[in-house]
């Protein structure tokens, strides 16, 4: 199927006869592969009698050389896969096998992409960005404080550089455009966080996706926001540059040095919210975040601090 996809990637019409000749298979076999492409990779294909078959939009595949050229400076080593269960899981396997950080894992498709709190991350083939950066962390917990928020700042800046001017932040690790999610961040640790550990910075960005019936929340994509198809290789280079800048700042100052900037771009600053922790629901107004990246809420006139991976923040219905 991948050979067929590479023949179709230019977005032009190709006859079934020509495709069959190029692949050494019958026209009926071409038809079956096209059916699989649509079903398994969520790629819409136009079928026009007399003209043949055409992808609904051209595809540009991820390419390490293009990413390096676009970055314009020494970049992190990049491992690119056609399909993995999740880039975070593959990154952890590479660490276990002795691969030395820092390095980046990218995939055209995830078969078991994960978001926070066990949610599925919908990952259609060659449409979005599935990105994991592995870092070795030395020096203890300070290097981890507010790290997911720092990554959010880098993602937001890369999106704005790419034309998505409305990109902004939602605590703790989402990037939104208005009320619609465009990116999510999932950090995973292995090792001793008090001494030496590895952290995987997992980033999912909706890039050229235009339809996704499986997504159970409001969402948008870079293409929907800008009206143009985005080259994901350019985006990877921009994201890498922004991550380098913000990770260096975080290493030098801790999250405290980025706290004010993060709050300036928090969409829900001063908004009434519900904070959900398991079966508990806490009503309050967002005051901001503290020097470690924890959420500050005004709860019945009292400032309270909340942090933890299992918390979910939602706007109140009356806000």
| Feature table: binding site for biotin | 86-88, 110, 114-116, 181
Cα 121 from Cα 60, distance rounded (Å): 21
Rounded-to-10 torsion of CA 90, 96, 97, 103: 60
Which tokens sit at 141? 């917990």
Kindly provide the b/e burial profile for residues 119-154, where b requires at least 16 CB atoms within 10 angstroms of the residue's own CB: eebbbbbbbbbbbbbbbebeeeeebbbbbbbbbbbb
Rounded-to-10 torsion of CA 33, 36, 40, 42: 90
Q: From the candidates 116, 157, 170, 238, which is the catalytic residue?
A: 116
3-state secondary structure of 23: helix
- Please state the length of the chain: 319
Q: From the candidates 12, 32, 51, 314, which is the catalytic residue?
A: 314
Please enumerate in sequence order all residues whose Cβ is within 8 A of that of 315, keeping only pairs 6 or more positions apart, or say none. Answer: 268, 271, 272, 273, 274
Q: Write out the binding residues.
A: 86-88, 110, 114-116, 181
Q: Quick check: is 51 catalytic?
A: no
Cα 153 from Cα 174, distance rounded (Å): 10
Q: Quick check: is 181 catalytic?
A: yes
Which tokens sit at 156? 């937001």
Q: Quick check: is 314 catalytic?
A: yes
Please enumerate in sequence order all residues whose Cβ is within 8 A of that of 290, keeping only pairs 6 or more positions apart, or say none. Answer: 259, 296, 305
Rounded-to-10 torsion of CA 36, 38, 42, 46: 160
Catalytic residues: 116, 181, 314
């Amino acid at each position: 199927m991948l050979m067929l996809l590479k023949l179709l990637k230019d977005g032009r019409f190709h006859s079934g006869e020509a495709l069959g000749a190029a692949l050494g298979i019958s026209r009926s076999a071409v038809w079956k592969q096209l059916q699989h492409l649509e079903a398994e990779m969520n790629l819409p294909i136009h079928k026009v009698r007399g003209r043949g078959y055409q992808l609904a939009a051209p595809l540009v595949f991820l390419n390490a050389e293009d990413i390096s050229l676009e970055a314009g400076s020494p970049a992190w080593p990049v491992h690119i896969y056609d399909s993995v269960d999740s880039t975070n899981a593959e990154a952890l396997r590479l660490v276990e096998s002795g691969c030395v950080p820092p390095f980046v894992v990218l995939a055209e498709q995830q078969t078991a992409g994960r978001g926070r709190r066990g949610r599925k991350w919908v990952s259609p083939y060659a449409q979005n960005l599935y990105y994991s950066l592995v870092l070795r962390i030395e020096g203890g917990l300070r290097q981890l404080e507010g790290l997911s928020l720092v990554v959010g700042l880098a993602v937001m800046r890369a999106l704005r550089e790419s034309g998505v001017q409305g990109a902004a932040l939602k605590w703790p690790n989402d990037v939104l455009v208005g009320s619609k999610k465009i990116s999510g961040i999932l950090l995973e640790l292995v090792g001793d966080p008090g001494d030496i550990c590895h952290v995987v910075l997992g980033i999912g960005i909706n890039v050229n996706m235009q339809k996704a019936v499986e997504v159970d929340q409001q969402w948008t994509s870079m293409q929907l926001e800008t009206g143009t198809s985005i080259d994901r290789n350019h985006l990877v280079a921009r994201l890498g540059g922004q991550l380098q800048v913000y990770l260096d700042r975080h290493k030098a100052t801790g999250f405290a040095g980025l706290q004010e900037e993060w709050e300036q771009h928090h969409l829900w600053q001063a908004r009434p919210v519900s904070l959900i922790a398991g079966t508990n629901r806490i009503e309050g107004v967002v005051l901001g975040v503290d020097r470690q990246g924890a959420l500050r809420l005004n709860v019945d006139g009292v400032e309270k601090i909340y942090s933890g991976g299992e918390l979910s923040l939602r706007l109140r219905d009356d806000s």
